[in-house]
């Protein structure tokens, strides 16, 4: 089996994860938790992800397990 390797990306492109949380709500969250949001449906989460990552659909990853909106708060 050949391992899957993510393509190298410019540092300007943010990888955004989309998926459902434990309550069934759609989440879009930047990989490091820098930004994110809660959405009514997959289409809205994906649209937000595209806007935030510079319209790069290859940098949007759908998570099939639970995804939580964990965004660190600045003190």
Predicted pLDDT at 24: 95
Residue 70: predicted pLDDT: 81
Give Cβ neighbours of residue 68 (< 8 Å, ≥ 6 apart): 21, 22, 27
Q: What is the predicted pLDDT for the residue at 4?
A: 54
Q: Are 42 and 19 in contact (CB under 8 A)?
A: no
Which residue ranges in the chain fall short of pLDDT 70? 1-11, 71-75
Residue 57: DSSP 8-state: G
């Amino acid at each position: 089996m050949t391992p899957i390797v993510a393509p190298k990306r410019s540092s300007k492109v943010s990888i955004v994860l989309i998926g459902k949380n434990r309550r069934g709500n759609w989440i879009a969250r930047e990989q490091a938790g820098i930004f994110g949001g809660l959405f009514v449906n997959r289409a809205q989460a994906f649209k937000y992800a595209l806007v935030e990552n510079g319209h790069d659909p290859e940098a949007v990853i759908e998570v099939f397990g639970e995804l939580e909106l964990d965004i660190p708060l600045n003190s």
